[in-house]
Amino acid sequence: MLNHFFMTLLVAAVPVIELRGAIPYGIAVGLTPWETFLAAIIGNLLPVPFIMLLIRRIFDFLRKRPFWESKIEHLEKKAHLKGKVVKKYRTPGLILLVAIPLPGTGAWTGALVASLLDIRMRMAIPAIFAGLLIAGIIVLTVSCGVGSLF
């Protein structure tokens, strides 16, 4: 079971898949809903500080390469578009961005947006964590059904 826990944690750390894919995976391999939830939250939160600390340096490095320049511009433009709610409402907006379990939202996007909008880590990480808790509850409820959670 420990292997399933760590695999669920790793699935949650992967961009795009994140918690939305890790919770159904954890349930499918036989973890309890709460083990799955814990692994998915931890795994999805792990990359956040690294994204916030390093993403600008990585983007600056890649922007110097012709192949990556347009891709980085596209990512930044998408992040700024997603960040409109965050820019307007700051912390509650960041929570909302992360909490909606749809493609293009989540901890990776939240960390990118927070970094590009210069939201300090001490504000961003708790907001991203709160958003992950909300998204995790939504995905867990959909994956298991309300009755099987208790």
3-state helix, strand, coil split of the chain in percent (to 5) is 80, 0, 20
- pLDDT, residue 149, reads 57
Instruction: Report DSSP state, residue 18.
Output: H
Contact assessment for residue 54 and residue 62, using Cβ atoms and an 8 Å cutoff: no
Record the pTM. Answer: 0.88
Residue type, 30: G
Q: What is the pLDDT along the chain (150 residues), one digit of tens a residue?
A: 779 999 999 999 999 899 999 999 999 999 999 999 999 999 999 999 999 999 989 999 998 888 998 888 888 888 878 778 788 888 999 999 999 988 888 999 999 999 988 899 999 999 999 999 999 999 999 998 765 655
Long-range contact list for 122-125, CB < 8 A, 24+ apart?
123/90, 123/91, 124/48, 124/52, 124/94, 125/45, 125/48, 125/49, 125/52
> What is the full DSSP assignment across 44-71?
HHTTHHHHHHHHHHHHHHHHTSHHHHHH
- pLDDT, residue 150, reads 54
Q: Counting beta carbons within 10 angstroms of the beta carbon of residue 93, is it exposed (0 to 12), middle (13 to 18) or buried (19 or more)? A: buried
Quote the tokens at residue 73. 């511009």
Residue 71: CB atoms within 10 Å:
13
